[in-house]
Structure formats: structure tokens, C-alpha cells
């Protein structure tokens, strides 16, 4: 008989909350010292990796070893790659305008506001979004067809995200592209291949936790929340607001899908953008 060790999972939920909080609080201390809150973007992936590592250690003897190893390795690889990419991308740059704008609106002490809204808020999101990683690790169900479907979805998302990031970095590195809109490779099919890939990663991890209806229902909030953050939260919406006035961006949005990868389309004058 297979199932989930709910008691041990409860202990892990507390440990995961403490782990996420520790990573973000440490990042807060470093960011305040350096006056650079953009460091929290690097901590996002690191916090997920730390939660996955702690979960793998604590779940020994409680869940199926194959599922435990698979979900831990998948989350670690995703989180560490993302952190490394953001660290490399932001090297030598000053503060992110998003955080400057946010803290300029702070009611009262800017530092305490950053701690509460940015760091503790992200720690809570890491804990909530990592629920499938934790639940899957405490399931005694052996790997099955649905788990391998989840792995395939995760791998597709990781490749999409990594390739999109690489293509954009290479494009920006060419001085001839200064001021131009990236509309090549995966970016010709979706304006946000990295965000789309991110979403697939978490839907894949969600499937790895779907060993029975109880955990499947309990952790559904994770991929739904991540997708909402990427599309209407702090991802796509804010980036497009920032890019809206750049020359050529309106034409790019007219021919390129907003999220789901679709063949480029011919722009029709006066026709509103398709919501995808």
C-alpha cells in the first residue's frame, strides 16, 4: 500500500519555512550592507534549492527513494541554474529600477519595508510554491507513468528557459543590437520563453506530487500561483510595462505571442493584441 507520511511531512513544512526564511534573511543582511536589493533575485533560486536539499535529507525513510531523488535533483538543478544565470546577468550593475520604485513608495522606514514586503514575502512564496517538492518526497508511491510525464514537462520547461536566457544574453552581448528588440529564436514565438519555461518546470514538479488525490489537490496552488506570478504578477506584466515605449516593441507584440509559444503572425493594423 502506498501513501503519504503526513506527520513527517508536517515537520518538513516547518523546516522548509525556516530554511526559506534563513536564506532570504541572510540575503537581506547582505543586500542592506551593500545597498543592493537586486540580490534577492539570486536568492529566489537558491532558496528553492535549499528547501529541496533539506527536504531530501529529512524525507529519508519516509518516501520512495526514486521519487525523492528525482524531485530533489530536478529542483536543485532548476534553482541553481537560475541563480547562476541571474548572478552573471546582474554582475557589475547597480540597483534594479523595480526595487528603487518600490522602496520610493515605502510608508516609513525603507529598510523595514523591504524586509517585510520583499524578503519575508518571497520567503513565504518559496515555501508555498515548493509544496509539490515537499509532498512528492514523502510519498511512498514508486515512479509511474504520470511521474515520467512530469519529468518530461519539467525538462521541456528547463530547456525552454535556459535556451531563451542564452539567446537573449548572446543578443545583448552584440553591440550591433543595442537599442533593438530581441525577436529571434524562441523569442520569435513568445515574448517570454524564460517565463513560459519556468511555468512548465513547476507544472512538471506538480505532476511528480500527484500520487493520490489528496496531495494533488493540496499542492495545486503551487503551479497555479507560479504561473500567475509570471504572467500577471511581477513577471510579464511589469517587464512589458517597462518595455512598452521602446522603439519597435509595439510591432513586436503585434506579431509575437504573449506567453504560449505560437508561430509568429502578421500584424494587422488596428487589430488588438491576442491574449496568450
Rounded Cα gap, residues 121 and 67, in angstroms? 29
Whether the CB-CB separation of 197 and 191 falls below 8 Å is answered with no
CA dihedral 71, 28, 230, 264 (to 10 degrees): -100
- Tens of pLDDT, residues 203-258: 999 999 998 888 889 899 999 999 999 998 776 777 777 777 888 888 999 999 98
Place 2 in a pLDDT band, splitting at 50, 70 and 90.
low
Whether the CB-CB separation of 266 and 255 falls below 8 Å is answered with yes
Rounded Cα gap, residues 205 and 224, in angstroms? 12
Rounded Cα gap, residues 108 and 193, in angstroms? 38
Rounded Cα gap, residues 220 and 204, in angstroms? 12
> 0.85 cut: is pTM over it?
yes
Closest alpha carbon to 207 in 76, 49, 67: 67
Rounded Cα gap, residues 201 and 211, in angstroms? 18
* pLDDT > 60? residue 267: no
* pLDDT > 70? residue 273: no
Residue 236 confidence (pLDDT): 76
Cell reading at 180 = 533593438
* pLDDT > 70? residue 34: yes
Place 275 in a pLDDT band, splitting at 50, 70 and 90.
very low
* pLDDT > 50? residue 274: no
Residue 268 confidence (pLDDT): 52
Average pLDDT, the chain: 91
Q: What does each C-alpha distance from 168 to 172, 181, 201, 207, 270 come to in angstroms?
A: 6, 10, 20, 30, 29
Handedness of CA 193, 127, 77, 74 (dihedral sign): negative
**Buried/exposed code over 233-264 (b: 16+ C-beta within 10 A; e: otherwise):** eebbeeeeeeeeeeeebeebbbebbbbebeee
**DSSP 3-state assignment of 4?**
strand
Rounded Cα gap, residues 100 and 247, in angstroms? 24
Amino acid at each position: 500500500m502506498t501513501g503519504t507520511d503526513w506527520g513527517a511531512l508536517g515537520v518538513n513544512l516547518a523546516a522548509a519555512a525556516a530554511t526559506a526564511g534563513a536564506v532570504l534573511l541572510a540575503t537581506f543582511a547582505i543586500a542592506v550592507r551593500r545597498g543592493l536589493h537586486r540580490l534577492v533575485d539570486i536568492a529566489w533560486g537558491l532558496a528553492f534549492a535549499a528547501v529541496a536539499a533539506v527536504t531530501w535529507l529529512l524525507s529519508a525513510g519516509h518516501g520512495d527513494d526514486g521519487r525523492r531523488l528525482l524531485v530533489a535533483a530536478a529542483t536543485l538543478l532548476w534553482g541553481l541554474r537560475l541563480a547562476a544565470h541571474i548572478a552573471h546577468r546582474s554582475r557589475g550593475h547597480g540597483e534594479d529600477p523595480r526595487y528603487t520604485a518600490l522602496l520610493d513608495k515605502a510608508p516609513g522606514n525603507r529598510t523595514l519595508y523591504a524586509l517585510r514586503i520583499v524578503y519575508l514575502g518571497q520567503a513565504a512564496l518559496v515555501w508555498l510554491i515548493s509544496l509539490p517538492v515537499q509532498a512528492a518526497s514523502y510519498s511512498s508511491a514508486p515512479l509511474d507513468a504520470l511521474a515520467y510525464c512530469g519529468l518530461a514537462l519539467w525538462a521541456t520547461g528547463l530547456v525552454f528557459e535556459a535556451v531563451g536566457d542564452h539567446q537573449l544574453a548572446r543578443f545583448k552581448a552584440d553591440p550591433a543590437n543595442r537599442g533593438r528588440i530581441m525577436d529571434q529564436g524562441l523569442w520569435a514565438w513568445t515574448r517570454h520563453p524564460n517565463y513560459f519555461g519556468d511555468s512548465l518546470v513547476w507544472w512538471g514538479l506538480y505532476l511528480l506530487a500527484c500520487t493520490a488525490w489528496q496531495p494533488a489537490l493540496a499542492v495545486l496552488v503551487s503551479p497555479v500561483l507560479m504561473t500567475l506570478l509570471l504572467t500577471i504578477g511581477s513577471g510579464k506584466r511589469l517587464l512589458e510595462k517597462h518595455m512598452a515605449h521602446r522603439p519597435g516593441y509595439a510591432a513586436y507584440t503585434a506579431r509575437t505571442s504573449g506567453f504560449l509559444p505560437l508561430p509568429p503572425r502578421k500584424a494587422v493594423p488596428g487589430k488588438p493584441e491576442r491574449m496568450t
